[in-house]
Structure 1
């Protein structure tokens, strides 16, 4: 079949292209240009100019057509602007989720289908047919699993996407890239947010929203003023380090009150939650289940998950009750629901 491969410049997407080519498919490579990296002082990151050249070099080695899609305006609207607004609103966004759902598996997928083919990426995830439907499954390499970012994919998307490295472990992926003669086979991984090239999200928000950041008070749960802070965008629920206060016991961010410019801190117990409401809930199967479902719930990417009950509500919402309190249930992050190795769906944690 014809397959359009989203090539980021990293080893995973390059290996995906090589594996598909080895299977006999007609492979085309595309890299998204999503941000203006003309200021070299910003450093390098995923999707930067160096990565674009790495992707081009891999495509040349494989002998496949290669294209660059200028998605800066679309990416800025759908991902970057929302990222900034969320931080100013006291939320903790995860930009990889809208990037996947509204850029890669929307814009790029439409192009792949227009070419009469499918879209492939280097994500560590799997797709299988189960019971007459498509199931989104966790990767073979638990340490690399990326399904947390993909819960918004539905049946129509899963019918037209491929994850060639999802059934492999990282060393196997590097070996496949090396066997294909790809120069990026040993390339280091990029962990940072692609458009925050110095790793300082707070500073990025300040640069993008001058004049909209305001100082405020850091207070205890009883209302005692403990310190001043430089803006709620510098904090996230569950945070312990960098609070600027000392005391006999550790303090954690319990909640953010952006309308008052306040950061409320307290004990670990006060910063933990056993219940949450998720909004904009998506179900991979399409329709929500008819009643409550038992699931493993992950409230952030590196969270191993905890048992819970998910009760679908009207208006694409769900009420989630966890089997034990979890610290750092941050509004703006995603709560993703799993049954074994299958992703049931997920939604955005509400305030």
Structure 2
């Protein structure tokens, strides 16, 4: 599974969970083109998509609905506590933990000496924990339910890889240590911001050209 030609539109991070059997029956006809070329072909063939706008939100949510209004319609408004991550002190009230993600700064609504960020969330208890930005930097994390694209790496106890922790982040160098058949411990060369449980971590060869494996951050 190689990266797409256009780094801004590369979907390999999202496709890591495909098996080699699935990939063997899959074609990516746009993989060697950038978006400008694709738009040009669409215009030359008078396709409606030639003038379509970029999708910036969840694909099945259409304006005027927003992600927040969609979630509110599904889960309803439910007050919960905003808690200081370090002290455990209750700082305020929010309207639903589902409105917040780790690393989020906007929407907390509490004044402090420095901007507050969401450090962690507890959806079961409907609580969010906040603190200053320095609490969000880390270099190590664990990954589970790993899907191996390159089987030879599954047999290694340790290897180096370029690592992506979210779709729009740059891949960073890391040491990958196997802790189980389909579980890994990751040691990044440099600290990264807001490594988030539930997000995918995808590992590429050291030339950052193709996927070695990927899994879910614990």
Match of 2:16 among 138, 151, 161: 151
Q: Gapped runs of 5+ residues in structure 1? A: 1-135
Cα-to-partner distance string for 1:191-233 (whole Å, 9 max, x where unaligned):
22122224633332232234xx632111112112111111110
Structure 1 position 296, deviation (Å) = 1.3
CA distance in structure 2 between the partners assigned to 1:234 and 1:220 by the alignment: 18
Match of 2:108 among 243, 249, 258: 243
1:342 aligns to 2:210 (yes or no): yes
Where does residue 89 of structure 2 map in the other structure? 224
1:326 aligns to 2:192 (yes or no): yes
When the two chains are superposed, the root-mean-square deviation of aligned CA atoms in Å is: 1.8
Q: How does 1:1-351 map to 2 (within 5 A)?
A: 136-198=1-63, 200-210=66-76, 214-221=78-85, 222-286=87-151, 288-339=154-205, 340-350=208-218
Return the TM-score normalized by structure 1: 0.57
Report the CA distance shift for 1:267/1:289 in structure 2 as closer, same or farther (over 3 A): farther
> Helix, strand or coil: the match of 1:148?
coil
Q: Gapped runs of 5+ residues in structure 2? A: none
Moved >4 Å (runs of 4+): none
1:297/1:335 contact within 8 Å kept: yes
CA distance in structure 2 between the partners assigned to 1:249 and 1:183 by the alignment: 47
Cα-to-partner distance string for 1:162-202 (whole Å, 9 max, x where unaligned):
11111111111111222333232232222221222246333
CA distance in structure 2 between the partners assigned to 1:185 and 1:232 by the alignment: 39
Larger-Rg structure: 1
> Helix, strand or coil: the match of 1:149?
coil
2:150/2:211 contact within 8 Å kept: no
CA distance in structure 2 between the partners assigned to 1:259 and 1:176 by the alignment: 49
